Chain A
Amino acid sequence: MVREKAENFKANDGPIQKWSYVVVLCIIFLLFAFPLLKPPAYFLSLLFTVFMYIALTESWNIMGGYAGYISLGHVTFFSIGAYTTAVFMNRLGVSPFATAIPGGFVAAMVAALVGIFLLKIRGAYFVISTFLLAVVTHLVFMNWNFVGSSSGLWFKLLPVSIEVNRIIFYEVMLLLAILITLVARWVEKSKFGVGLVAIREDEDVAQSVGIHAPKLKLLAFILSAFLAGIVGGIYGYYMSYIHPDTTFDINISLLILLMAFFGGCRTWIGPLLGATILSSANQVFVTFIGAEISRIFYGLLLMVVIIFMPDGMIEHIKNSRVVKKWVAE
């Protein structure tokens, strides 16, 4: 049986597989080269936001999609990352490009500390707890002078023109989005990922077959937080000014949830797809249609997705008869 499996595996690496690698590499190259076309800074900002949501949703999905532990507190680690880099810059003058990864480490440490307790809770209670975590941290940051309380914190501006500024952040966030997606993909295909899925399907059964659920959950939580922290560090620098109300914004959590569910939280492709489509749509909507209408649309979309496509778009499409027929031909 093992030999059959190995042969199947090799057979998969056929021409379609190779083609898709080439296509993906081309797209990535084009994305990196896009600024050479001198697009308006506004578009670079827009794409920055898209890449950021890809990175955030992919990192969230390691916990929410693979392990099935839906967190409404992802913004906590995002904010910790942003604030860490801000404090480093303000007190030590170090550039966030250097401190973003340490920012991720700080977020990871907080996740480790909090996770030991938080991950004992399951299901809906876990969701509520993560939400509370975000709320409490938000309140604490609003009143803590070390992080600027309600005045917020500033970053020194990059000594370059606005066009170059936007290009730099565009490229950095693009790189982050790609790297984090790759990490998510790696996790999915690794033993670690399989363990997480087992936890999602039935945690108690998984425990009984020797999967050390608490350890795996904590690892996933820490990894997820680490990545979110790095993204936060770069985001803060991009905005040049951070404030608890902007970094702890509930809308960020809503969008991440929506993107993951819409695209499909079972695979690494889901969040990528969900984030790209919805983030771009969001920008267009909000600018031209108005914030409330777009939020109503997203709320409805979330409801529709849960009711009709609970496993996300990818699974829905995969399972739809139309696609099945097409693949069989």
Chain B
Amino acid sequence: MKGKKGKGLVISVAAVLAVFLIFGTLRTSVAKPIKIGGSLPETGIFSEAAKWIKRGYDAWLEDVNNKGGLLGRPVEMIIYDDESAPAKAVTYYERAITVDKVDLISGGYPGTANVAVMPLVEKYGKVFIGMGGHLKSFEQGYTYSFASPPLMSEWACLALAGPLDDLIPKEKWPKSMAILTMNNVIGLSARGNTIKVAQEHGMRVAVDETYNLPLTDATPLVSKAKGSGADLLVCMSFFDDAVMIVRAAKAMNYKPKMIFQLLASTIPAWMKELGEDGNSVLADMFWNSRLPYPGNKEINAAAKRKLGIPAGPTYFGLGYSWMKTLELAVKGSGSLDHKKIRDYLRSQKFDLPYGKGISFDSRGLPPPYAFTTQTTGGLVELVWPKEVATTKLVYPRPAWKK
């Protein structure tokens, strides 16, 4: 009898221990979620692109949670609406950091907001991965901000120079340029280099006008461009203003040989607003769903799953890629310590949706690059560099359809 009792004791103790162990592990796997916070201009003049960025964030969130989360913990995101006002963005980021006590922060949009947020996140010592602001903001000695992929307006000119150099014979280059720029950091920083590129390619700067956002009427600007006879129209614009400029160009029957833009044509609503008139417009971009790099399969699959479209729209993919970079950095450094994450980002090479073997310099930027996109048949296709091109460049631009 004693033996049996002894065995019973051992078994019950073992059982109790087992139960505790199981409970214990169960508890750790129902772990505290990781919170990521930030803001986006969900309303206001920058909202068109931001809508897609948010969708990209949501898609990434789903994917990362389906694969077990970050560092074994589920992930949550808190995104505030900063109403396209940089000052509000700063307030919301500070709120996310100090009141919501988020573990990580998300990239903001657009560059003007990021420029204002960068000093704040530097003060709080949080890694900030997004599109960046402009080159000057990266030269303030901030160490926590990264642009991956960057929407670096100073590099936009590469997307203009590329097709000129590689795809169009010298005799056929445009002879003069009309450049219309929105009066903010993004527009102005893009303008400088683009003018240089034009001049290097033998073009005369016929019209160089800056306008304040929001643009109320594009007619005077376009009229000036048309009057000057410029055959290259460059719009360093956002979305609504770019749409208005193209509309005005059509209304006045202004037919430049090439229209090059900062970003508007890469947003799906572009084709919706302009229809046929929105085709054959070139833009610079720093990511595209057709690029043959790691991660794009997931992005396109997510787009299909969540939006029912075969490929990720530009800002969807950008949002996803920013979060993806953060994901890789956190997973790679194995920690939520922002110093460790930051140092990891600086010390490694990464395979990202926009390129292989990307490394970040002391400013937090990858080496300069850009892709040239063209709206063709209602889609955003790549025309340059040649290795990644998905369609042929249409030059000169066809006449406006009635």
Report which A residues bind B (CB closer than 8 A): 40-42, 45, 139, 142-143, 149-152, 154-155, 157, 162, 165, 239-241, 243, 245-246, 249, 287, 291
Query: Contact between B123 and A157 (Cβ–Cβ < 8 Å)?
Result: yes
Cα(A223)–Cα(B94), bound, Å: 34
Among B86, B88, B94, B124, which residue has its beta carbon within 8 angstroms of that of A243?
A: B86
Q: Which residues of A contact B137 (CB under 8 A)?
A: 154
Cα(A241)–Cα(B87), bound, Å: 10
Q: Which of A150, A154, A239: most chain B Cβ within 10 A?
A: A150
Known: A40-B98, A241-B115. A150 touches B188 (CB 8 A): yes
Cα(A157)–Cα(B185), bound, Å: 21
Chain B, residue nearest A142 (CB): B183
Query: Contact between B185 and A246 (Cβ–Cβ < 8 Å)?
Result: no
B110: shortest Cβ distance to chain A, in Å?
A: 13
Q: Which residues of A contact B87 (CB under 8 A)?
A: 245-246, 249
Q: 15 additional contacts, CB 8 Å, given A45-B98, A291-B88? A: A40-B98, A42-B99, A142-B212, A143-B183, A151-B185, A151-B188, A154-B140, A157-B119, A162-B124, A239-B90, A241-B115, A241-B119, A246-B86, A249-B87, A287-B95
Query: Contact between A45 and B119 (Cβ–Cβ < 8 Å)?
Result: no
Query: Contact between B123 and A240 (Cβ–Cβ < 8 Å)?
Result: yes
Cα(A241)–Cα(B124), bound, Å: 15
Cα(A243)–Cα(B90), bound, Å: 13
A-B contact pairs, 14 of them (CB 8 A): A40-B98, A41-B94, A45-B94, A143-B210, A150-B184, A150-B187, A154-B140, A155-B119, A241-B116, A243-B116, A245-B85, A245-B86, A246-B86, A246-B87
Q: Which residues of A contact B183 (CB under 8 A)?
A: 142-143, 149-150
Q: Which residues of B contact A150 (CB under 8 A)?
A: 183-185, 187-188
Q: Which residues of B contact A287 (CB under 8 A)?
A: 95
Within 8 A of A (CB), among B92-137: 94-95, 98-99, 112, 115-116, 118-120, 122-125, 134, 136-137
Report which B residues bind A (CB closer than 8 A): 83, 85-88, 90, 94-95, 98-99, 112, 115-116, 118-120, 122-125, 134, 136-137, 140, 183-185, 187-189, 210, 212
Query: Contact between A42 and B188 (Cβ–Cβ < 8 Å)?
Result: no
Q: Which residues of B contact A149 (CB under 8 A)?
A: 183, 188
Q: Which residues of B contact A165 (CB under 8 A)?
A: 123
Query: Contact between A152 and B185 (Cβ–Cβ < 8 Å)?
Result: yes
A228: shortest Cβ distance to chain B, in Å?
A: 18
Q: Which residues of B contact A246 (CB under 8 A)?
A: 86-87, 116
Cα(A154)–Cα(B140), bound, Å: 8
Cα(A319)–Cα(B139), bound, Å: 59
Chain B, residue nearest A44 (CB): B98
Known: A42-B98, A42-B99, A249-B87. A162 touches B119 (CB 8 A): no
| Count, A-B residue pairs, CB within 8 A | 65
Cα(A112)–Cα(B212), bound, Å: 30
Cα(A239)–Cα(B99), bound, Å: 18
Cα(A151)–Cα(B189), bound, Å: 9
Chain B, residue nearest A151 (CB): B185
Query: Contact between A41 and B98 (Cβ–Cβ < 8 Å)?
Result: yes
Q: Which residues of B contact A243 (CB under 8 A)?
A: 86, 112, 116
Cα(A239)–Cα(B119), bound, Å: 8
Cα(A150)–Cα(B115), bound, Å: 12
Cα(A143)–Cα(B209), bound, Å: 12
Query: Contact between B99 and A40 (Cβ–Cβ < 8 Å)?
Result: yes
Q: Which residues of A contact B112 (CB under 8 A)?
A: 243
Query: Contact between A162 and B115 (Cβ–Cβ < 8 Å)?
Result: no
Cα(A150)–Cα(B212), bound, Å: 9
Cα(A249)–Cα(B87), bound, Å: 10
Chain A, residue nearest B136 (CB): A151
Q: Which residues of A contact B124 (CB under 8 A)?
A: 162
Q: Which residues of B contact A142 (CB under 8 A)?
A: 183, 212
B120: shortest Cβ distance to chain A, in Å?
A: 7
A230: shortest Cβ distance to chain B, in Å?
A: 21
B94: shortest Cβ distance to chain A, in Å?
A: 6
A252: shortest Cβ distance to chain B, in Å?
A: 10
Cα(A139)–Cα(B183), bound, Å: 11
Among B99, B125, B187, B212, which residue has its beta carbon within 8 angstroms of that of A162?
A: B125
Q: Which residues of B contact A139 (CB under 8 A)?
A: 212
Q: Which residues of B contact A245 (CB under 8 A)?
A: 85-87
Cα(A165)–Cα(B136), bound, Å: 24
Query: Contact between A154 and B119 (Cβ–Cβ < 8 Å)?
Result: yes
Chain A, residue nearest B99 (CB): A42
Q: Which residues of B contact A45 (CB under 8 A)?
A: 94, 98
Q: Which residues of B contact A249 (CB under 8 A)?
A: 87
Cα(A155)–Cα(B123), bound, Å: 12
Chain B, residue nearest A45 (CB): B94
- Which 10 A-B pairs give the minimum distances between C-beta atoms? A240-B119, A42-B98, A246-B87, A162-B123, A151-B185, A150-B183, A150-B184, A41-B98, A162-B124, A42-B99
A243: shortest Cβ distance to chain B, in Å?
A: 7
Query: Contact between A157 and B122 (Cβ–Cβ < 8 Å)?
Result: yes
Cα(A155)–Cα(B120), bound, Å: 12
Q: Which residues of B contact A241 (CB under 8 A)?
A: 115-116, 118-119
Q: Which residues of A contact B115 (CB under 8 A)?
A: 152, 241
Cα(A249)–Cα(B188), bound, Å: 22
Q: Which residues of B contact A291 (CB under 8 A)?
A: 83, 88
Query: Contact between A240 and B120 (Cβ–Cβ < 8 Å)?
Result: yes
Cα(A249)–Cα(B86), bound, Å: 12
Cα(A40)–Cα(B148), bound, Å: 31
B50: shortest Cβ distance to chain A, in Å?
A: 16
Chain B, residue nearest A290 (CB): B81
Q: Which residues of A contact B136 (CB under 8 A)?
A: 151
Q: Which residues of B contact A152 (CB under 8 A)?
A: 115-116, 185
Q: Which residues of B contact A154 (CB under 8 A)?
A: 119, 137, 140
Cα(A245)–Cα(B137), bound, Å: 18
Cα(A174)–Cα(B116), bound, Å: 24
Q: Which residues of A contact B118 (CB under 8 A)?
A: 241
